Structure 1
Amino acid sequence: MYDIAIIGAGPAGLSAAINCKIRNKNVVIFGGAIESTDLLKASHMDNYLGFPDSTGIVLQEKFLQHVAKFSIEIKKEKILAIYDYGDQFQLTTKEGEYISRGLIIATGIPKTKTVEGERELLGKGVGYCATCDGPLYKGKIVAIVADTEEGEEECEFLSELCSKVYYIPKYKQEIEFKSDNIEILYEKVERVIGEKKVEALKLETRTLELDGVFFLKKNVPPSQLITDLRIENKFIGVDRNMATNIAGIFAAGDCTGKPFQVAKAVGEGTVAGLSCVSYIDKLKKSN
């Protein structure tokens, strides 16, 4: 078990990690340098204190060197779901499951869109990890909507469990599957249909009756990782301590809103880290 898990390896997440580690907390970061693509694209920066005439690449290298000094673990795994068990959280990735007492979300702004019905039916037939939830659909009909070719492996896995798998790629590439029960459809997804559970998937030219649909995305928005997280104007709602509406979960950086500046992200990461440390200390005393 980790004391604190941090989702995101950009300025906010790295800043939070350092402050947690200095205060003797067992910390893990999920993500990699790729998570800070906006920073890496900055060819010239003149507004970060102490680093005039710098670049995003230089800053990111300095940040990662600082984290490495404290031997903070960075797992290059994508978080697919978070489950709140009161005094601890379970984080699910394709590679496995992890437990932490506190959680800091520093994902930046995930560049992904949802379709109608997707969020409403999350956990009711809509999922983001086929290998995680696949066994629930044994003998049933499912669809996979994939952003990248990584979805092909999960499609093959589901084809061994399900009676029928529709594979809907959002990328242009020639695809071949060995299984006969996989049908590839190059169509735009319009909405997920269902009331209490998924019943069908509406495409441009047809409607597929099915039992479940998996959206395999490059990045999963925080609001879709955990239920009941408060979102305000498309950003995570936090207070002055960077605390969200869920006890034990804090957020920092671009995912909390404007201004989208490195200095703001680093500052919020510091506050989130210190706040999460305080939360963990009180939790341990109460137990």
Structure 2
Amino acid sequence: MLDIAIIGSGPAGLSAAINGVIRNKEVKVFGTDPEKSSYLRKAEKIDNYLGMPGISGEEMIRKFVEHAKEMGVQFHSGRVIQIFQMDDYFTLNVENEFIDAKTIILANGIVNEKAIEGETEFLGRGVSYCATCDGPLYRGKTAVLVGDSEAAEEDVNYLAEVCEKVYYVPLHKKTEKVDSRVEVIHDKPVAIEGEETVKTLKLKDNEELNVNGVFIIKDTVPTTQLLQGIEIVDKAIKVNQYMETNLKGVYAAGDCTGRPFQVAKAVGQGTTAALQAVSYLHKNS
């Protein structure tokens, strides 16, 4: 069992991981490769981070990752689909792999909490965030996948091997690696409808798609779906000065806690969250 599971591999998550490892805790960072996915890499020049004037975002995140790896931080590539609260620990569903942890640090960045109409209502009744987990349930059936990045193409290609018919609604521009059996539709999803289970996905320009299942593949799962009961205020996770959330043993750091969206703030909050998690572990050991 992990001592600290960190959701997110940006500056806040890496800072938390380093500080957790320094305190001799079993720590693992869950997320995509930060050198490819972090928003920081897009910054051409950063002048307000102490000791690194004029550094590019790409170079900064590379240095952060190198530091973490040198300290022995463990990385787990994969999206955390859901976190379950148990009696005195948590279980993470990482694309159908289940991992236990004593504490959680959410460092999942800016997350779009806006759902498609009907998404929440039909979650588990035809709506899924994981093709690997739930794809086999739609063997011989019709499914549609809505994806917000090229990473979703791997999922839609997997569904093409399982389902009788697969539609793909990409919310990004390039679709170069999509299986020829998949029908690509460039449109905007508006609503998911059905009765006991999903029946249709309504689109803005076309009328609707008759489907048995809707897969929504985003780089990050909405925080409210990721961890039930987490308190959100103004689209940000509510924390106190110790980075504690309203859930015992759960901390948050970085952009997910709201403005200002600055690297220095993220790194500082990551440090605080890790040290508080360590203190919590010692008190409850």
Q: Shorter-normalised TM-score: what interval?
A: 0.7 to 0.9
Q: Secondary structure of 2:38's match?
A: helix
- Residue 251 of structure 1 aligns with which residue? 252
Spell out, residue by residue over 1:201-257, the C-alpha distance to the aligned partner (whole angstroms, 9 max, x if none): 112322334332101223333233222222211111112221222222211001100
Does the Cα contact within 8 Å between 2:113 and 2:223 map onto a contact in 1?
Answer: no
Letter in 1 for 2:88: D
TM-score w.r.t. the length of structure 1 is 0.84
- Residue 200 of structure 1 aligns with which residue? 200
Spell out, residue by residue over 1:116-156, the C-alpha distance to the aligned partner (whole angstroms, 9 max, x if none): 22234333322111110123344544321223454444345
Does the Cα contact within 8 Å between 2:150 and 2:174 map onto a contact in 1?
Answer: no
RMSD: 2.8
**Inter-CA distance 85–141: structure 2 relative to 1 (3 Å threshold):** farther
How far apart, CA to CA, are the structure 2 residues paired with 1:150 and 1:12?
23
Does the Cα contact within 8 Å between 1:12 and 1:253 map onto a contact in 2?
Answer: yes
Q: Does 1:217 align with 2:218?
A: yes
Of the structure 1 ranges 37-46 and 230-239, higher mean CA displacement relative to structure 2 is found in 37-46
Letter in 1 for 2:106: I
How far apart, CA to CA, are the structure 2 residues paired with 1:245 and 1:82?
15
- Residue 191 of structure 1 aligns with which residue? 191
**Inter-CA distance 177–257: structure 2 relative to 1 (3 Å threshold):** closer
Does the Cα contact within 8 Å between 2:110 and 2:255 map onto a contact in 1?
Answer: yes
Spell out, residue by residue over 1:79-129, the C-alpha distance to the aligned partner (whole angstroms, 9 max, x if none): 233222232222233473322221111122146853222234333322111
Does the Cα contact within 8 Å between 1:10 and 1:35 map onto a contact in 2?
Answer: no
Aligned length: 282
How far apart, CA to CA, are the structure 2 residues paired with 1:278 and 1:142?
46
Does the Cα contact within 8 Å between 2:153 and 2:178 map onto a contact in 1?
Answer: no
Does the Cα contact within 8 Å between 1:8 and 1:107 map onto a contact in 2?
Answer: yes
Does the Cα contact within 8 Å between 2:147 and 2:216 map onto a contact in 1?
Answer: yes
Of the structure 1 ranges 228-237 and 265-274, higher mean CA displacement relative to structure 2 is found in 228-237
**Inter-CA distance 172–74: structure 2 relative to 1 (3 Å threshold):** closer
**Inter-CA distance 231–71: structure 2 relative to 1 (3 Å threshold):** same
Structure 2: gaps of 5 or more residues: none
- Residue 85 of structure 2 aligns with which residue? 84
Q: What does 1:155-170 align with in structure 2 at a 5 Å threshold?
A: 155-159=156-160, 161-170=162-171
**Inter-CA distance 86–209: structure 2 relative to 1 (3 Å threshold):** farther
Structure 1: gaps of 5 or more residues: none
How far apart, CA to CA, are the structure 2 residues paired with 1:259 and 1:3?
29
- Residue 30 of structure 1 aligns with which residue? 30
Q: What does 1:14-93 align with in structure 2 at a 5 Å threshold?
A: 14-31=14-31, 32-34=33-35, 37-93=38-94
Does the Cα contact within 8 Å between 1:121 and 1:197 map onto a contact in 2?
Answer: yes
- Residue 98 of structure 2 aligns with which residue? 97
TM-score w.r.t. the length of structure 2 is 0.84
Letter in 2 for 1:192: I
Q: Secondary structure of 1:273's match?
A: helix
- Residue 175 of structure 2 aligns with which residue? 173
Does the Cα contact within 8 Å between 1:2 and 1:100 map onto a contact in 2?
Answer: yes
- Residue 260 of structure 1 aligns with which residue? 261
Letter in 2 for 1:169: P
Q: Secondary structure of 1:43's match?
A: coil
How far apart, CA to CA, are the structure 2 residues paired with 1:155 and 1:44?
36
- Residue 3 of structure 1 aligns with which residue? 3
User: What percent of counterpart residues are identical?
Assistant: 46
Q: Does 1:238 align with 2:239?
A: yes
How far apart, CA to CA, are the structure 2 residues paired with 1:232 and 1:112?
12
How far apart, CA to CA, are the structure 2 residues paired with 1:206 and 1:144?
17
Of the structure 1 ranges 11-20 and 190-199, higher mean CA displacement relative to structure 2 is found in 190-199
